[in-house]
Amino acid sequence: MFIRLGSIVKDYNNSGQGKAALQEYDACNGKAFILCIVTSLMCRVHEKISQAGELCYMDASASFEQLNTSITLLYTSCTVGALPLGMFITSDELETTLKKAIGLLKTILPEYAFFRRSPLVGLVIFLTDDSSAERKALELCWPKGVRLLCTFHVLQAFWRWLHDPKHKIKKEDQAFIMEKMKKILYERRQFWAHSFRVGLPICGNHTNNYIERSFGILKDIIFARTQAAAHKHPGHLRIAKHFLCPGWKGVDTNFINKTGVRNEFSVQSTRKDDLFYIVNSEIGTCTCPVGVSGAPCKHQGAVAMKYHIAILNFIPSLTPQDRMVYAYVTLEEVKADYQSDNPQLRTALDKFADRYHSAKSKSIPRLTSFLYDINCDLDPAAHVKSGSMICVQVESVKR
């Protein structure tokens, strides 16, 4: 098996589609199985997306196949959602194995990894579950990174352990033990409490549910695992056209003014007339309790609307340069697919190119109409004539 896998890794490294590193399993010498992968898409995220140097969600999951290997994913998040930074597959989740896996991963990361911070330095923040093996491995491999706990999983994980029958915890003792656990957690509050995260570029993200959703895709789609229940959705969830954060319309634009500092604006509070917040449109922050960590807030939205300027947290304010960056990240994958040996896909893309050039040769309005029709065909919700939209903030979409 490892001979075949080694051959596949060699071919992948020669393909130009990414890099992989393999450590074969050797029980006699105590070597765990490790396979690290950094795709070309991941490299482009490292190169172009600034959040790749700020925040990383890291989590592991198993039960994918009969060998029960563990898959660990590293993701970041930005305006368009979650984007991958790297992954590795291991035969276990021991600290020594994870340390070796991260070390192998660093050897195949591009030199501009983590938005030019370099593979050796790593990111500013790592958000993980309360796994001591993961956290110690990260501390050893990227000591400059701040390691925070996913607040959603801290008490939840212990609650599941407490109620697991195999641990034989008496029912009458569970509440008492849970209270003791809360006191212990309070002593470790610097890792999970939101109040200790002020000033860190977490952009309003306190859980690693982006990565949980990615594992759902891996198990339910890529690994074709039969779902326990089928869910039917009567409608389609759409991101509101204006902003990801509701409430910006309630801000009085007459009390939004430029300050003496470049890219900074003074915005009056909607609750206290004598309270003003400062919005920095360049880095996408606000001094209000919501926007201080870099999360979208109504004050940023109001500034973007009044002055028609780009702010990082709002999709409609993407500049042409932003669109070029995200197009570069995604369209290179289409190019690779076109160059593969799939005749049906190549034929479809050729037909699209012919129609695109035909419409462009006639007039720009004709080309615009052509692209608009394609968008309507791809988006089922575009045909809905009435009904209220559902406003969605990306950070609140958990699963």
Both 313 and 347 in one domain: the answer is: no
Residue 300: predicted pLDDT: 87
Residue 375: predicted pLDDT: 57
Q: What is the 3-state secondary structure (H, E, C) of 69-109?
A: CEEEEEEEEECCEEEEEEEEEECCCCHHHHHHHHHHHHHHC
Both 327 and 382 in one domain: the answer is: yes
Both 106 and 187 in one domain: the answer is: yes
Both 309 and 333 in one domain: the answer is: no
Tokens read off for 211: 């990565």
Question: 343 φ, ψ to 5°?
Answer: -65, -35
The CA R_g of the chain, rounded to the nearest whole Å, is 24
Residues 6+ apart with CB under 8 A from 14: none
Q: Does residue 31 lie within any of the structural domains?
A: yes
Which of 299, 317, 335 is a domain's end point? Answer: 317
Both 281 and 294 in one domain: the answer is: yes
Nearest residue to 332 (alpha-carbon basis) of 3, 2, 16, 1: 16
Both 52 and 184 in one domain: the answer is: yes
Both 325 and 313 in one domain: the answer is: no
Both 58 and 175 in one domain: the answer is: yes
Q: Does residue 131 lie within any of the structural domains?
A: yes
Residue 231: predicted pLDDT: 36
Distance CA 236, CA 249 (A): 25
| Domain span holding position 177 | 2-222
Residue 60: predicted pLDDT: 87
Q: Does residue 235 lie within any of the structural domains?
A: no
For the chain, the domain total comes to 3
Helices (H), 218-319: 298-307
Residue 171: predicted pLDDT: 76
Both 217 and 93 in one domain: the answer is: yes
Are 46 and 109 spatial neighbours (Cβ–Cβ below 8 Å)? yes
Q: Does residue 101 lie within any of the structural domains?
A: yes
Both 252 and 311 in one domain: the answer is: yes
Residue-level length of the chain = 399
Residues 257, 201, 56: CA angle, nearest 5 degrees: 145
Q: Output the CA–CA distances (angstroms, integers) from residue 357 to 76, 232, 335, 339, 368, in the order listed.
A: 36, 40, 18, 20, 12
Residue 309: predicted pLDDT: 75
Distance CA 352, CA 155 (A): 52
Task: Look at strands 70-78 and 81-90 and give their pairing.
Answer: antiparallel
Distance CA 331, CA 41 (A): 9
Tokens read off for 370: 């052509």
Q: Output the CA–CA distances (angstroms, integers) from residue 42 to 38, 129, 218, 264, 303, in the order listed.
A: 6, 23, 17, 33, 33
Residue 257: predicted pLDDT: 93
Which H helix or E strand runs over 55? strand 55-61
Q: Does residue 239 lie within any of the structural domains?
A: no
Nearest residue to 334 (alpha-carbon basis) of 310, 353, 316: 353
Both 63 and 129 in one domain: the answer is: yes
Looking at the DSSP bridge assignments, the partners of residue 277 are 267
Q: What is the 3-state secondary structure (H, E, C) of 353-390?
A: HHHHHHHHHHCHHHHHHHHHHHHHHHCHHHHCCCCCCC
C-alpha torsion sign, points 62, 63, 64, 67: positive
Residues 6+ apart with CB under 8 A from 59: 72, 73, 128, 129, 208, 211, 212, 215
Both 325 and 310 in one domain: the answer is: no
Q: What is the pLDDT along the chain (399 residues), one digit of tens a residue?
A: 678 899 999 999 999 889 999 999 888 888 999 999 999 999 999 999 988 999 898 988 876 666 778 999 999 988 777 889 999 999 999 999 999 999 999 999 999 999 999 999 999 989 887 788 999 999 999 999 988 877 555 666 676 677 777 888 887 887 788 778 767 766 666 665 555 666 676 666 655 666 766 776 676 556 654 333 333 333 332 333 334 466 788 899 899 999 887 788 999 999 999 999 988 887 677 888 887 766 778 898 888 888 877 665 655 445 667 767 777 777 777 777 777 767 888 888 888 888 888 888 887 777 777 766 765 655 444 444 444 443 333 443 333
Work out the number of other CB atoms within 10 angstroms of the CB of residue 305.
20
Are 44 and 332 spatial neighbours (Cβ–Cβ below 8 Å)? yes
